[in-house]
Amino acid sequence: MGLTLIFGVMRVVNFAHGEFLMLGMYVAFWAFALLHFDPYVTLIVSLPLFFALGWVSYRLIMRPVVHASHNVQVFTTVGLSIALQNIALVLWTADARFVRTSYYAVVVRVADAAFNVAQFVAFGVAVACTAALFAFMRWSYTGKVMRATAQDRQASALMGIDTDRVYALTWTIGIACVGVAGVLLAPVYPVYPTAGLQFVLIAYVAVVLGGLGDMAGALLASLIVAAVEVAGSYVIGTAWKEVLYLLLFIAILMVRPAGLFGQRGAEALGT
Amino acid sequence: MSAAPAAVFFALAALASFVVRDAFLLDSLILILLWGSAAAAWNVAGGYAGQISLGHSAFFGLGAYGAAVLGTRWDLSAWIGLAVGAVVATAAGLVLGFLSNRLRGPYFVLATIAFSQVLLIVASRLRAFTAGSEGIPVPFRPGFWTLGLADKRVWVWIVLVVAVLAYLLQRYLDVSRRGYQLAAVREDEDAALSLGVAARRLKVAAIAVSAALTAVTGALWAQYVGFVDPFYVFSVDLSVRFALASIIGGLGTALGPFLGAVLVTTVETYLRAQFGGIGAGLVGIYLVVYGTALIVMVRFAPQGLVGWLRRS
Amino acid sequence: MSLLSVAGVTKRFGGITANRGISFDVAPGELVGIIGPNGAGKSTLFEIISGFYRPEEGDVRLDGVRLTGLSPDRVCRLGVARTFQKLRPFAGLTVLGNVMVGALTRTKDVRHAREQAREIVARVGLEDKADAHARTLSTGQRKRLELARALATRPRLLLLDEVTGGVDQRTIPALVQLVRELHASGLTLLVIEHNMRVITAVTQRIIALHLGEVIADGPPDVVARDRAVVEAYLGQAYTR
């Protein structure tokens, strides 16, 4: 979701997204282990924290390259990703860590499927966040400005929109979203330095499937991915599930290249 | 750029093999030449053709597994394993080349990462064939034919030959017709097409050649180090290492990847030696340095060392 | 016998028909102008002729050879060169390098290509910029570069998309003169141009497009006074 936002407005593919997710999970873990904070309490505390982190990382790292070529942006975010991953490795070792809440084993039944509470809450908060973000983009002035910038950088700049601020805000909100997501996932999945990767690949599949930059599409697509996941592990076993994802991911990229990202599609509309 | 600095560079490497007796220094030299060749192979696709791949470890891994699997399972010559690895990698390169014709910019990068991850999972799950996630120890079988060479100087010569070949391949792209056309494709594919350049074929060819060369370095690496770990040879970190050496040295320059490799390998060796013993986790420091270096380089010195040397 | 023959070309993007049944012929040595308000389908037509778009219906032929369905590089090798409305120089290459890419389509020999490129660079008046990187050029110089690059492929038909668009007023006459010279040397040209004064000065024939259709085809003074053309332009002015 944060991914969609960042890409949609800034046209930057953020390869470090998963690492912010990982950081979110670690925040939840340490808050739980050291301060005995429930992850859902941490959620509230971490929101400003990730806003700050997003803002700082934008100022220091992203701002100089917002207008640079795609390749520069790719390398910058890849570099960020590797650095964060290994900082985590150095600081917290490669061990997988768990947040074991008292209600870990509590299961909620919906129809035939069983979810534990944490999954259920994560899903609920995700939907609420999406709705809030969607409303924000649609109706608030800032949201409108962000969408305008997404459509035409130059024109927006000419209209007196401070595009730099828009980018900063977009990046920050995007990072905040993913940080929160990390906190939410902590009670469900183990935390380790490369934890971000597996989620971010799934997120990318969802985002690309739904259309980059399209939030409602992304939500719909993540449901499809979830369905594929369940069906996939049933049919071919969990071990090969990831291969299925990745192939699906490549296939999706292949099937819809021009419409989504090709220059030619854009040209066609311009004539 | 003239070829003189490169001639000096490779001559020094050759000379060192006669003069230097220290095993550690020879080892560093071999690794520098090997990583330099791998970075040069990456540079053919990433620097010259402009197809930024972060999945090149896929080809490296195919080469490494080619040599290791054929050697341990069927007792074949390491050279045959190397050749088979290169052929398989070329085929994989064609697949990636096909992707490059459908995907541009960041989407291609994403697809290349996914590509290497697919191979990683396959390699670590196909237990019967690849020994799965434990990896394959490559047995030391003495003899040139099996690449079981105790004398490190012979290793220097072998990797030096590969390095010079990789360098010459890049020089060819500096001065030849195909090189000019490839540069045009990198700068603006549509404009290149409009001038009669068969852009798609050229790109696919560049990626396939790059893949084959990467596989050769992978196979040699496996024989030299003696162990193939799927989580290392197919890792994104490894792909980034190739890219980083090229970027530090100078994207799309023939000598750049080798200069970059000197720096990257030296720094890594130093940091590993410094922090390796203290705690296992601290080994990751060199990767933090990698990541930071990448961010800093593309921002402040996009032309790399070669560009910097040219100006001064 | 016509050099270029466009027959019943139709191209749609979703619900929009950018080109609808466009037909016309261009004789060897002709210089034909294409005009029309924004969105008339001029650029789409160029993309189709040069092989970047594939039309849903109709055919484009060069000297009887079918171009439709061929890739842009094939079309170029058959003798159609083009410039882009939005300039696309190879920014990282030198001016000479840019032009050499075009020349190398006709020769395998790099040295030979370099000589040819040097001549062409001189012909468009960029000789003192030959070794400069393309990204350092001004817009007017970039236009010349695109022209030089296209010429280096030794085209039989040259498609020019807005030679004078976005260029400083003072450099327009020199560019117009260059187009005249190319025409005088026997090259066949198809030119999209917004500047009516420029186009009436260089061409003997103008094709006017509106909403994807040909609405007039004839000598400049006749087309300029054509009712449909005037209405198309006025209509656009009013609705704006």
Distance CA C83, CA A85 (A): 47
- Name all contacts of B180-185 with Cβ < 8 Å and 24+ positions apart: B180/C97, B180/C100, B180/C101, B180/C104, B180/C110, B180/C113, B181/C101, B181/C104, B182/B48, B182/B49, B182/B206, B183/B48, B183/B252, B183/C90, B183/C92, B183/C93, B183/C97, B183/C101, B184/C90, B184/C93, B184/C101, B185/B49, B185/B50
Residue A115 pLDDT > 80: no
Whether residue A82 is contained in a domain is answered as: yes
In chain B, count of helices (H) and strands (E)? 15, 2
Strands C65-66 and C4-13: unpaired
Report yes or no: A204 and A260 within 8 Å, Cβ to Cβ.
Answer: no
Whether residue A261 is contained in a domain is answered as: no
What mean pLDDT is predicted for residues B36-65?
89
Q: What's residue C220's pLDDT?
A: 86
Residue A14 pLDDT > 80: no
Q: How far is CA C28 from CA A137, C63, C186, C195, C227, in A?
A: 56, 9, 8, 24, 29
Contacts of C43 in chain A (CB under 8 A): 271
What mean pLDDT is predicted for residues B165-179?
91
Cβ within 8 Å, pair A271-C43 = yes
Contacts of A247 in chain B (CB under 8 A): 118
Residue A97 pLDDT > 90: no
Distance from CA of A37 to the nearest CA of C (A): 54
Distance from CA of B186 to the nearest CA of C (A): 8
B100-104, B118-122, B214-218, C64-68: lowest mean pLDDT where? B100-104
Torsion sign, CA atoms C33, C36, C40, C43: positive
Distance from CA of C189 to the nearest CA of B (A): 16
Residue A100 pLDDT > 70: no
Per-domain boundaries in chain B:
4-236
Strands C31-35 and C57-62: unpaired
Distance from CA of A263 to the nearest CA of B (A): 9
Question: In b/e form, how buried is each residue of A160-192, taking b as 16+ CB within 10 angstroms?
Answer: ebebeebbbbbbbbbbbbbbbbbbbbbbbbebb
Distance CA B309, CA B8 (A): 15
Q: What's residue C212's pLDDT?
A: 87
Mean pLDDT, chain A, integer: 67
Report yes or no: B97 and A251 within 8 Å, Cβ to Cβ.
Answer: no
Q: Could you count the other beta carbons within 10 Å of the beta carbon of residue C176?
A: 19
Report yes or no: C232 and C37 within 8 Å, Cβ to Cβ.
Answer: yes
Cβ within 8 Å, pair B298-A65 = yes
- B107/A contact by beta carbon, under 8 A: yes
Q: Chains touching chain B at 3 or more Cβ pairs under 8 angstroms?
A: A, C
Distance CA C41, CA C214 (A): 10
Distance CA A267, CA A258 (A): 11
Residue type, B21: R
- pLDDT band (50, 70, 90) for residue A226: low
- Per-residue pLDDT of B285-301, as tens digits, reads 777 888 888 888 777 77
> Tokens 């001004």 label which residue?
C138
- Cα C178–chain centre separation: 14
> Tokens 């593919």 label which residue?
A13
Q: What's residue A238's pLDDT?
A: 58
Q: What's residue A222's pLDDT?
A: 64
Interface size A-C, in CB pairs within 8 Å, comes to 14
Q: What's residue B111's pLDDT?
A: 83
Report yes or no: A96 and A192 within 8 Å, Cβ to Cβ.
Answer: yes
- pLDDT band (50, 70, 90) for residue A84: confident
For an interface test with A, the pick among B116, B298, B303 (most A C-beta atoms closer than 10 Å) comes out as B298
* The two structure tokens encoding residue C226: 């054509």
**Helix (H) or strand (E) segment spanning residue B177:** helix B177-187
**Number of folded domains in chain A?**
1
Strands C157-161 and C65-66: unpaired
Distance from CA of A130 to the nearest CA of B (A): 24
- pLDDT band (50, 70, 90) for residue A257: very low
Please give the share of chain A, as a percent, with pLDDT higher than 70.
40
**Helix (H) or strand (E) segment spanning residue B283:** none
- B291/A contact by beta carbon, under 8 A: yes
- pLDDT band (50, 70, 90) for residue C239: very low
What mean pLDDT is predicted for residues A238-255?
70
Whole-model pTM?
0.83
- B193/C contact by beta carbon, under 8 A: yes
B30-34, C117-121, C164-168: lowest mean pLDDT where? C164-168
Chain C's closest residue to A268, CA to CA, is C13
- pLDDT band (50, 70, 90) for residue B84: confident
Residue type, C125: G
Distance CA C39, CA C233 (A): 12
User: Angle of helix A17-35 relative to helix A195-210, nearest 10 degrees?
Assistant: 130
Residues 6+ apart with CB under 8 A from B243: A75, B39, B42, B46, B52, B53, B54, B56, B294
Beta strand residue intervals within B128-203, DSSP E: 136-137
Distance CA A225, CA A248 (A): 9
The ipTM is 0.88
Report yes or no: B305 and B249 within 8 Å, Cβ to Cβ.
Answer: yes
What mean pLDDT is predicted for residues A219-242?
63
Whether residue A201 is contained in a domain is answered as: no
| More confident: B115 or A269 | B115
- pLDDT band (50, 70, 90) for residue B108: confident
Residue C205 pLDDT > 70: yes
- A46/B contact by beta carbon, under 8 A: no
What order do you get walking across the sheet with C16-26 strand by strand?
C16-26, C4-13, C57-62, C65-66
Contacts of C39 in chain A (CB under 8 A): 271
- pLDDT band (50, 70, 90) for residue A108: low
Q: What's residue B54's pLDDT?
A: 87
Helix, strand, coil shares of chain B, percent, nearest 5, are: 80, 0, 20
Cβ within 8 Å, pair B114-A246 = yes
| More confident: C157 or A61 | C157
For an interface test with B, the pick among A82, A207, A252 (most B C-beta atoms closer than 10 Å) comes out as A82
Contacts of A268 in chain C (CB under 8 A): 13, 18, 44, 53
DSSP A97: B
Report yes or no: A191 and A26 within 8 Å, Cβ to Cβ.
Answer: yes
> Rounded to 5 degrees, what are φ and ψ at C164?
-100, 0
Contacts of C42 in chain A (CB under 8 A): 271
Q: What's residue B184's pLDDT?
A: 93
What mean pLDDT is predicted for residues B48-76?
84
Question: In b/e form, how buried is each residue of A216-240, taking b as 16+ CB within 10 angstroms?
Answer: ebbbebbeebeebbeebeeeeeeee
Q: Could you count the other beta carbons within 10 Å of the beta carbon of residue A48?
A: 10
Distance CA B101, CA A16 (A): 26
Provide the 3-class DSSP secondary structure of residue A46: helix
In sequence order, the β-bridge partners of residue C17 are: C12
A151-160, B148-157, C40-49, C216-225: lowest mean pLDDT where? A151-160
Provide the 3-class DSSP secondary structure of residue B166: helix
Q: What's residue A250's pLDDT?
A: 76
* The two structure tokens encoding residue C46: 């160029």
Residue C100 pLDDT > 90: yes
| More confident: A138 or B203 | B203
Q: Chains touching chain A at 3 or more Cβ pairs under 8 angstroms?
A: B, C
Cβ within 8 Å, pair A271-C18 = yes
Query: Of the candidates B102, B247, B279, which has its C-beta nearest A257's C-beta?
Result: B102
How many alpha carbons fall within 13 Å on the CB side of residue B146?
Answer: 16
What mean pLDDT is predicted for residues B99-115?
80
Cβ within 8 Å, pair A90-B247 = no
- Range with top average pLDDT, A34-38, A147-151, C36-40, C184-188: C184-188
Distance from CA of B87 to the nearest CA of C (A): 29
Whether residue A203 is contained in a domain is answered as: no
Residue type, B224: Y
Distance CA B130, CA B67 (A): 12
Cβ within 8 Å, pair A90-B299 = no
Distance CA C157, CA C49 (A): 10
Beta strand residue intervals within chain A, DSSP E: 107-110, 113-116
- Per-residue pLDDT of B215-274, as tens digits, reads 999 988 988 887 788 888 888 888 888 988 888 888 888 888 888 888 888 888 887 777
- Largest Cα separation within chain C, whole Å, is 56
Whether residue A187 is contained in a domain is answered as: yes
Cβ within 8 Å, pair C18-A269 = no
Residues 6+ apart with CB under 8 A from B7: none
How does DSSP assign C174-218, residue by residue? HHHHHHHHHHHTT-EEEEE-S-HHHHHHH-SEEEEEETTEEEEEE
> Which residue segment(s) compose the domain that A93 sits in?
2-194
- Per-residue pLDDT of B178-190, as tens digits, reads 999 999 999 988 9
Cβ within 8 Å, pair A271-C52 = no
User: Angle of helix B177-187 relative to helix C95-103, nearest 10 degrees?
Assistant: 110
| More confident: C213 or A263 | C213
What mean pLDDT is predicted for residues A140-161?
66
What mean pLDDT is predicted for residues A91-113?
62
Q: What's residue B211's pLDDT?
A: 92
Distance from CA of C77 to the nearest CA of A (A): 22
How does DSSP assign A102-171, residue by residue? TTTT-EEEETTEEEEHHHHHHHHHHHHHHHHHHHHHHHSHHHHHHHHHHH-HHHHHHTT--HHHHHHHHH
Q: What's residue B290's pLDDT?
A: 80
Strands C213-218 and C205-210: antiparallel
Contacts of C44 in chain A (CB under 8 A): 268, 271
What mean pLDDT is predicted for residues A59-76?
76
Whether residue A200 is contained in a domain is answered as: no
- pLDDT band (50, 70, 90) for residue A1: very low
- pLDDT band (50, 70, 90) for residue C74: very high
Residues 6+ apart with CB under 8 A from C213: C20, C21, C22, C41
For an interface test with C, the pick among B194, B197, B201 (most C C-beta atoms closer than 10 Å) comes out as B194
Cβ within 8 Å, pair C39-A271 = yes
Chain B's closest residue to A238, CA to CA, is B125
Distance CA C165, CA C158 (A): 17
How does DSSP assign C83-108, residue by residue? --SS----TTSBHHHHHHHHHTTT-S
In sequence order, the β-bridge partners of residue C28 are: none
Distance CA C58, CA A108 (A): 62
DSSP B44: I
